[in-house]
């Protein structure tokens, strides 16, 4: 079983690492769509066409299933793509329902348009530039912290923070410094568990990895990040 994973940049590496840990496939093809980074400011129609092109490219590379490692792509295009391709397609959908206490949900502006009903005790924050900043700077965090800290300070009493963009998981150290009492949640593990449960066969402990880029080839950087996530 070969699984394709798609994101605009490094964010989906969190999802890829979770899929590998759950042994979902024998091989993975990761499409980093840097040409269209960031997804979070694009319209739903743009994202549908981007997603369809990406899935078709992954299928051409042998993917038997595809996973969107991006919340924005998932909420805007998952149903659209599922009706137009044969392989199963899974999405990283935001889960504000997982926030039980006084919570904060961070997501892109486009993802916010598709959110289900959010509890009155949950605030929604849409830091438009954050995903692109993280993608460019990581593993450094100085600029990310400079941008994010003032936005988070009013939410110092939050008990839980849901990171509704896979890029945001790479800023966990910043969240922990600014909101030290808050529990951080994201959907990567839940998505990997779902994929593992649905796909018929258990994958390899040492799967093959193929990286594709629509923008600058960053193979060495991506492999280094993925290796750190798998430790």
Q: Which residues of the chain register pLDDT less than 70?
A: none
pLDDT score for 18: 98
84 and 158 both lie in a single domain = no
pLDDT digits (tens, 9 = 90+) for 58-68: 999 999 999 99
The residue from 107, 123, 165, 224 that is catalytic is 165
Asked if 145 and 77 sit in the same domain, the reply is: no
- 158 given a catalytic annotation: no
36, 105: one domain:
no
Q: Is the domain of 113 the same as that of 166?
A: yes
**Quick one: which of 189, 194, 132, 183 has its CA closest to 160?**
183
Among 24, 70, 107, 158, the active-site one is 70
- pLDDT recorded at residue 205: 86
Give the CATH number for residue 222: 3.40.50.1860
Model pTM above 0.75: yes
Same domain, 6 and 87: yes
Structural domain harbouring 128:
96-185
- State the pLDDT at residue 100: 85
**Is 213 in the same domain as 138?**
no
Q: Is residue 43 located within the same domain as residue 69?
A: yes
CA–CA gap between residue 111 and residue 90 (Å, rounded): 16
SS3 3: strand
What CA–CA distance (Å, rounded) separates 72 from 105? Answer: 14
Distance between CA atoms of residues 130 and 119, nearest Å: 24
Same domain for 83 and 196, yes or no, is: yes
Asked about 224 being catalytic, the answer comes back as no
Q: How many separate domains does the chain show?
A: 2
């Amino acid at each position: 079983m070969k699984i394709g994973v798609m994101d605009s940049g490094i964010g989906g590496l969190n999802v890829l690492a979770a899929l590998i840990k759950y042994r979902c496939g024998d091989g993975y093809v990761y499409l980093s769509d840097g040409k269209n980074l960031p997804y979070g400011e694009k319209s739903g129609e743009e994202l549908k066409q981007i997603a369809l092109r990406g899935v078709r490219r992954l299928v051409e590379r042998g993917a038997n299933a595809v996973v969107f490692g991006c919340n924005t792509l998932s909420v805007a295009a998952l149903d659209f793509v599922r009706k137009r391709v044969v392989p199963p397609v899974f999405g990283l959908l935001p889960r504000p329902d997982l926030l039980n206490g006084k919570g904060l949900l961070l997501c892109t502006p486009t993802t916010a348009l598709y959110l289900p009903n959010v509890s009155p005790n949950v605030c929604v924050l849409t830091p438009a530039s954050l995903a692109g900043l993280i993608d460019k700077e990581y593993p450094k965090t100085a600029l990310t912290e400079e941008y994010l800290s003032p936005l988070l300070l009013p939410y110092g009493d939050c008990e839980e923070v849901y990171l509704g963009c896979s890029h945001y998981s790479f800023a966990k150290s910043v969240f922990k410094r600014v909101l030290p009492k808050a529990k951080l949640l994201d959907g990567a593990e839940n998505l990997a568990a779902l994929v593992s449960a649905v796909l018929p066969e258990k994958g390899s402990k040492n799967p093959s990895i193929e990286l594709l880029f629509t923008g600058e080839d960053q193979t060495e950087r991506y492999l280094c990040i993925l290796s750190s996530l798998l430790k």
